[in-house]
């Protein structure tokens, strides 16, 4: 087995990343360098360009810019505030109530917006000051906000699940969306358990109990936002429209909602569109270069070499899954989710399929695993957003983050070794 291509690929990637080259450029250059081992320079550059263009030629991927735009409208449309108010009437009176509110609101907002960054920014900016007023430390508030924001990547609709569907060669997006509910809710509940323990230990304040009329009032205000989930997910499951069509409907619905709430005006639209375009451009460049690197790896037979090496170490399903999880946890600390899913799905999916693991189950496991990486340095996007919104530093946030990390890892292990947590709902809906 020739490991030269693997060594060159990994070495060039690590060196470029260490030099501070943006991840998208790092992926593209590493792919070209590896391809030059066996292909002439003109052919190598032409092939990479072709693969980047071909990789983006997908109707499924059109859902991503629509969901990004919908998320941007939601972020500015007063939706987060209404969800927070509703969450506070439900769980705000429990010990560590505002921590619960943060997690619960992040689960709802992240599910609606499909963006962990949007959830961390919107929920953190609103709840952070409130939590400080009631005696919570900045660091604890930031830690809760950072980890809870990732639940929206698992609870649908989720852009990263769409990308996994593309990378896996066609796992049903509808099935992935439905499969994400129980793992996402389980992760949120475990985070709430840690937050309750920490709040009791630190004697954080307990909020006032809300009466039924307050719960009903805040629910009515939040209901139009929550209705979007029913429209999007219900429509996809029922086969009324595709994920891409659902994303377009989400844009129209959120715009109407933003105008009704009077939080979005015609003057805001250029800024909203420009922000969405910038985010979409970054995501699409990452997807294009990731797909080109994935093609190079396939051309050089690197996935087959890695598969053979892993299977040679053990034929135990448990051992292989633990090794894959460990590798993905490590990868997630320095690589964004999008390229990680596009590059490592073709490597690990054949291995787990050979072991009899459902691709649907593996997809949820992979996304949950890489979500943890978003909360860790040195490239943790949500970590940087969370500490920035809270006005604190990474060094101070690490201590309260550690028990929350542990909760997420426990959720990952449960999802990994109890596949019915992922597969039960898709089976119920016949997906």
Better-predicted residue by pLDDT, 56 or 416:
416
Predicted pLDDT at 179? 93
pLDDT band at 183 (very low <50, low <70, confident <90, very high): very high
Is residue 114 pLDDT above 70, yes or no? Answer: no
- Per-residue pLDDT tens over the stretch 162-173: 889 988 888 888
Q: In whole angstroms, what is the distance from residue 109 CA to residue 267 CA? A: 24
List all residues 6 or more positions away from 365 whose beta carbon is below 8 Å from its beta carbon: 325, 412, 415, 416, 422
List all residues 6 or more positions away from 322 whose beta carbon is below 8 Å from its beta carbon: none
Predicted pLDDT at 176? 92
Is residue 199 pLDDT above 80, yes or no? Answer: no
- Per-residue pLDDT tens over the stretch 299-328: 877 777 777 788 788 878 888 999 999 999
Q: What percent of the chain has pLDDT over 70?
A: 95
Opening angle at CA 148, ends 379 and 164, nearest 5 = 65
- Per-residue pLDDT tens over the stretch 38-59: 888 888 899 889 988 888 888 8
Predicted pLDDT at 369? 94
- Per-residue pLDDT tens over the stretch 77-108: 677 778 778 877 877 667 667 888 888 888 87
Least confident interval from 151-160, 177-186, 367-376: 151-160
pTM value? 0.85
Residue 161 CB burial class (10 angstroms; 0-12, 13-18, ≥19): buried
Q: In whole angstroms, what is the distance from residue 289 CA to residue 9 CA? A: 14
Predicted pLDDT at 113? 67
Predicted pLDDT at 404? 92
Predicted pLDDT at 35? 87
Structure token pair of residue 86 = 């509703």
- The answer to whether the peptide bond before residue 378 is cis (omega within 30 degrees of 0) is yes
């Amino acid at each position: 087995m020739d490991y030269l291509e693997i060594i060159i690929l990994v070495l060039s990637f690590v060196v470029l990343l260490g030099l501070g080259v943006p991840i998208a450029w790092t992926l593209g250059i590493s792919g070209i360098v590896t391809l030059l081992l066996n292909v002439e320079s003109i052919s190598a550059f032409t092939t990479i360009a072709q693969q980047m263009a071909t990789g983006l030629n997908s109707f499924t991927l059109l859902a991503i810019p629509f969901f990004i735009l919908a998320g941007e409208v939601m972020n500015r449309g007063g939706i987060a505030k209404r969800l927070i108010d509703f969450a506070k009437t439900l769980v705000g009176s429990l010990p560590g109530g505002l921590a619960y509110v943060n997690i619960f609101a992040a689960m709802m907002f992240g599910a609606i917006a499909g963006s962990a960054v949007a959830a961390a920014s919107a929920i953190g900016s609103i709840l952070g000051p409130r939590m400080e007023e009631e005696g919570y430390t900045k660091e604890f508030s930031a830690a809760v906000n950072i980890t809870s924001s990732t639940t929206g990547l698992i609870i649908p609709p989720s852009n990263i699940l769409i990308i996994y569907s593309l990378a896996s060669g066609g796992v049903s997006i509808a099935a992935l969306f439905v499969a994400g509910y129980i793992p996402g809710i389980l992760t949120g509940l475990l985070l709430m358990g840690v937050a309750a323990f920490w709040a009791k230990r630190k004697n954080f304040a307990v909020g006032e109990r809300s009466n039924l009329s307050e719960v009903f009032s805040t629910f009515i205000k939040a209901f139009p936002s929550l209705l979007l989930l029913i429209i999007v997910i219900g429509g996809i499951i029922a086969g009324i429209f595709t994920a891409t069509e659902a994303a377009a409907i989400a844009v129209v619905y959120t715009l109407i909602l933003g105008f009704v709430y009077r939080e979005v005006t015609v003057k805001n639209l250029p800024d909203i569109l420009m922000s969405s375009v910038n985010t979409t451009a970054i995501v699409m460049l990452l997807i294009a270069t990731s797909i080109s690197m994935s093609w190079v790896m396939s051309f050089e037979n690197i996935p087959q070499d890695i598969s053979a090496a892993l299977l040679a170490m053990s034929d135990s399903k448990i051992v292989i899954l633990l090794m894959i999880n460990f590798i993905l946890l490590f990868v997630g600390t320095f690589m964004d989710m999008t390229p990680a899913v596009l590059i490592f799905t073709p490597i690990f999916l054949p291995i787990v399929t050979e072991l009899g693991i459902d691709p649907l189950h593996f997809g949820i496991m992979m996304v949950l695993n890489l979500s943890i990486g978003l909360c860790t340095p040195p490239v943790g996007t949500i970590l940087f957003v969370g500490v920035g919104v809270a006005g604190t530093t990474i060094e101070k946030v690490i201590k309260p983050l550690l028990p929350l990390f542990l909760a997420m890892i426990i959720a990952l292990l449960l999802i990994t070794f109890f596949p019915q947590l992922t597969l039960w709902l898709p089976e119920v809906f016949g997906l």
